[in-house]
Structure 1
Amino acid sequence: MENRHRDTYLITGGCGYFGCRLACALHKQGARIVLFDTKPPSQEVPKNIVFVRGDVCEYAQVERAVVGVDCVFHIASYGMSGREQLNRGLIEAVNVQGTQNVLKACVEHGVPRLVYTSTFNVVFGGQVIENGDESLAYLPLHLHPDHYSRTKSIAEMAVLKANGTALKSGPEVLRTCALRPAGIYGPGEQRHLPRIVGYIERGIFRFVYGSPSSLVEFVHVDNLVSAHMLAAEALTAEKQHCSAGQAYFISDGRPVNNFEFFRPLVEGLGYPFPRLRLPISLVYLFAFLTEMIHHLVGPFYDFQPLLTRTEVYKTGVTHYFSLAKAKAELGYEPQEHNLDMVVQWFRSRGHGRKSHSSFTGRLLLDFLLVCAVVAVALSFLPVVGSR
């Protein structure tokens, strides 16, 4: 087992928030780490962690990076949220072709293990799921409301199908597994939390939506790191390859209302929590119209949508999953975390309410919100009448 800690791991997309945290955890165990990404690490990592600049869309670059590697963590993806979700061409290239490139390179150069970072979305498309498990079928591809989820499904299926493929360099086979994490959070997370804090600070976060009883899940970055390390270990002979060909849902194991989850962040930065609750159907319509507008003007002005349709579903519709399989087969035991460290991280960087807005300012924001809601509602009328 001690020798296993000196294995070499390649992390695709490894220079983002999660990739760096995974790299540092593996490095502490004595492993050799190669970060493969289009840009350097987003946070400080130990000096002997190797950075290789490259793109998973370019097979020759992937091929060079996997030489001498014992295990690949394939976490590179594109199109998870915001305006990225609307760039179908790049989503397809990174998530589907990029994954095919990684699988091919592993087979050609004798890499025996691959752990793929997937998503809840491979089975979820807006329908209520309560305590679902891995026996759930993939959501039919045409039912996905966004191309990211569709391509992640295609990629996960390809990864699991590749399990057992003979390696070109010897008698071994490629063993693969997939982890399906919930929304990631933690101090320093750079994809979702800054966007949420930006909405809070600009006064845009003035309403919530959906039922107060709707439940979703999140996963702290350290729990997700633990799950990946356990999954990689479970692909080895020492663990009887028990995770080979398998998929696992990964979360903190604590379903919670999406907006209540973020209440400590809102109030911790000194802002009032919204009291206005809108119907999810109205917000979904707003997201749909926003996407249509982006489709028209995006080539000239690539603005950030307030919400996409998928984000409305992911935040407002109940969907949470059992951890029984991950606990039984991987030994996964999520530790309890909260948003206290996240609040401290933002406050240490100058975020937080510094003064109360004037009555006139608040009145103006409320007036603009009402106008926006009325405009969205009215814009739907001609669509209904035209059918």
Structure 2
Amino acid sequence: MCVLAVCFVGAKGKRMEEGNAAKERVLITGGAGYFGFRLGCAIYQKGVDVILFDVVKPLQTVPEGIKFMQGDICCLSEVEEALRDVICVFHIASYGMSGREQLNRKLIEDVNVKGTENIIQACKSRGVSSLVYTSTYNVIFGGQVIENGDESLPYLPLHLHPDHYSRTKSLAEMKVLEANGAELGNGRGVLRTCALRPAGIYGPGEQRHLPRIVSYIERGLFKFVYGDPLSLVEFVHVDNLVQAHVLASQALRASKQHVAAGQAYFISDGRPVNNFEFFRPLVEGLGYKFPTRRLPLSLVYFFAFLTEIVHFVVGRVYNFQPLLTRTEVYKTGVTHYFSMEKARKELGYEPQQYSLDEVVEWFRSQGCGPKPRNYTMMHLVRDGALLLVLIAVLVSWFPSAATFSL
């Protein structure tokens, strides 16, 4: 991990000096998650008090000295209590990024929009001077080709977002940036805000995307790739993303002329790559053969659409994990990458170069790799039932395809 000079400016404008008795305090929403936990540990190592705030407890052991508070950003009173004596909030918590989570519209709305509104309101009432919001590329991207785009690109119109997660993250980012300059309670200055738009996160121990990919590989489901072999996307290593968040919080300070206030920044490793080629070292490193069969993007998108229809019909009874959603097909198969120039110039962001070697080693340490596979009667019953449901849905759906809307 890069050595980061992490320091923050407190409510009274005094910079924390080494050896000061009174430490300053930051809060990280979604602090039990992979990135939030990693960010919290990095900041704490630099002598800043850290509160990890999340609805669930961390899977990892919380280091001594870091405080964990269990709470829900959808509950304003819990957020206000957590923000007592905090000078900076890193708002990372969100819901609906991938898989079946993308199909739970109500929870996505509650967490991503109402939760963010609560964070902003609590920052104002508690006198929190800085708010760094973890956004996403998806506020701009909705399946269209983007090559070396920058922050001057407009938000994707809300009705064009292919999923509710992206739509709500866009709304939340707008609210955060609009809150920049808002008066804090009791005349304690103003709130400074910014938003970071990261690419797909990777690193050893990542808990959301990589385990799902590895499970597909081990179950023999990774039999094809799709889309144009020249299509390019981006990823960001967790430690580069930590670096970006620390730099963004610094750039909200008076000592940096509040250069980041009201601004958004794309964050990645700065190395566009074909999505499937990026994961080749993981597939082959775990001892599997990389697939050579390539399918048209349109065919895979249609399959994902049918899968979402099936989930819409049976999801309340059997909340299965879709192999792919429509948004995931776009995000992995359509070129979209962005310039890091603004982040470099205004934040001083310089991404370090990483490979998937440490990720491969981590999965090996978890016992991942080729194993004998037994197709049991339970698997046969499950797959047969899903096939029957799919056939029934298709038979009933096609006559009314023109009027169906997810």
The TM-score, its normalising length taken from structure 2, stands at: 0.88
Q: Which residue of 1 aligns with 2:16?
A: 3
1:160, distance to aligned residue in structure 2 (A): 0.1
Q: Which residue of 2 aligns with 1:365?
A: none
Q: Does 1:235 align with 2:252?
A: yes
Q: Give deviations 1:224-254, integer Å, cap 9, x for gaps.
A: 0000000000001111110000000000000
Work out whether residues 114 and 174 of structure 1, in 8 Å CA contact, stay in contact via their aligned partners in 2: yes
One of 71, 91, 95 as aligned partner of 1:78: 95
1:7, distance to aligned residue in structure 2 (A): 2.2
Q: Which residue of 2 aligns with 1:201?
A: 218
Pairs within 5 Å for 1:1-387: 3=16, 6-354=23-371, 383=398
CA RMSD of aligned residues (A): 2.3
> C-alpha distance in 1, partners of 2:97/2:303?
19
Q: Which residue of 1 aligns with 2:379?
A: none
Q: Give deviations 1:156-195, integer Å, cap 9, x for gaps.
A: 0000000000001224100000000000000000000000
Q: Give deviations 1:134-159, integer Å, cap 9, x for gaps.
A: 00000000000000000000000000
Work out whether residues 62 and 68 of structure 2, in 8 Å CA contact, stay in contact via their aligned partners in 1: no
Work out whether residues 217 and 283 of structure 2, in 8 Å CA contact, stay in contact via their aligned partners in 1: yes
Unaligned runs of 5+ in 2: 1-6, 8-14, 376-382
| SS, match of residue 115 in structure 2 | helix
Residue identity in the other structure for 1:258: N
1:385, distance to aligned residue in structure 2 (A): 11
1:384, distance to aligned residue in structure 2 (A): 9.5
1:39, distance to aligned residue in structure 2 (A): 1.3
> C-alpha distance in 1, partners of 2:260/2:326?
33
> C-alpha distance in 1, partners of 2:337/2:343?
14
> C-alpha distance in 1, partners of 2:192/2:60?
31
> C-alpha distance in 2, partners of 1:280/1:354?
31
Work out whether residues 17 and 43 of structure 1, in 8 Å CA contact, stay in contact via their aligned partners in 2: no
1:42, distance to aligned residue in structure 2 (A): 2.2
Q: Give deviations 1:195-221, integer Å, cap 9, x for gaps.
A: 000000000010100000000000000
1:41, distance to aligned residue in structure 2 (A): 1.6
Unaligned runs of 5+ in 1: 361-367
> C-alpha distance in 2, partners of 1:147/1:386?
21
| SS, match of residue 169 in structure 1 | helix
> C-alpha distance in 2, partners of 1:153/1:107?
21
> C-alpha distance in 1, partners of 2:262/2:17?
21
List structure 1 segments (4+ residues) > 3 angstroms apart after TM superposition: 382-387
> C-alpha distance in 2, partners of 1:334/1:104?
33
Residue identity in the other structure for 2:16: N
The TM-score, its normalising length taken from structure 1, stands at: 0.92
> C-alpha distance in 1, partners of 2:143/2:17?
41
> C-alpha distance in 2, partners of 1:197/1:48?
34
| Aligned-residue identity in percent | 68
